[in-house]
Amino acid sequence: MASDKPARRAVVTGASSGIGAEYAAALARRGWDLVLVARRADRLDALAGRLREGCGAGVEPLVADLARSPDLARGAERVTADDVALLVNNAGINGYGPFTEVDQALLAKVLDVNVVAPTALTRAALPGMVARGRGAAVVNVASLLAFAGSLPPGPLPHRAVYGGTKGYMVTFTRTLAAELADSPVRVQVVCPGLTATEFHLGTGEAPVGGEARVHEDGGMPPADVVAASLAGLETGEVLCVPGLSDPGPLTGLAEAELALRNGSGAVLADRYRAADARAGEPQ
């Protein structure tokens, strides 16, 4: 006899290590079945085996490089299935380096993995989630470097494109959450700071090989990042900053944005009008 129990499968990208692997483990412990997406088949198979044995989860490894159009298309097709109720867009690469020196092909890959892929997967998943009319969610993993702006490198990395992609994810997610406010779908962007993973051991040109490692700078345990994200998702938190104890800056951000939008009027601001007048004066 077929079960009437609603589908409860999560798709997690970048699941072979770090934050993605922790999402997979945390969701499996909560009773979710999983589709795990990453480039490293050996890591995916090992993780899938552990979660099947330890949690009894149904796990589908999907080996894919989301920078490649055919692989992204396979992922997009999978997230349209009726059993998918949660999409975690975690895959990302950094492409760190001075903007004028980083290989342009690597920067294009950063855009493909960090922007094009999560946008395409979210677009593929959402129509079904909305139409099914029951609780579903999309979680996008960004970074506090989305807010680093003009801060110079040292100790922060050279990050113009990476920071830009994470800024996109923050704005995309917050705007989408407002658009879907009356739907059964929750949308969240999580912005961790430095996290104890292997993310900084490479630029993303190729997967980090060998056993899972942690970069020397340490940071928050990825399990804590995931715990904050899932707790925030339960309460409807759209912008989750795992290390932020006082949520006041989130309110301040919204207030600052409102003040900036007040500049959308049809009248030129006086500070520019005065400068324009001075420019026309004889020297």
- Which sequence spans correspond to the domains of the chain? 9-247
Of 12, 233, 232, 45, nearest in space to 121 by CA:
12
Task: Judge whether 162 counts as a catalytic residue.
Answer: yes
Residue 197 — pLDDT band, cuts 50, 70, 90?
confident
Q: Point out the catalytic residue in the list 96, 162, 168, 272.
A: 162
Stretch 147-163: mean pLDDT, rounded? 94
Q: In the predicted model, what is the mean pLDDT of residues 213-236?
A: 88
Cα gap 141→171, rounded to integer Å: 12
pLDDT of residue 5: 52
What is the spatial distance between Cα 46 and Cα 41, in angstroms, rounded to a whole number? 9
| Mean pLDDT computed over every residue of the chain | 91
pTM, rounded to two decimals: 0.91
- With residue 35 as reference, give the H or E element that holds it: strand 33-38
Task: Inform me whether the pLDDT recorded for 282 exceeds 90.
Answer: no
pLDDT tens sequence across 74-94: 999 999 999 999 999 999 999
Statement: 9-247 belongs to CATH 1.10.1200.10: no
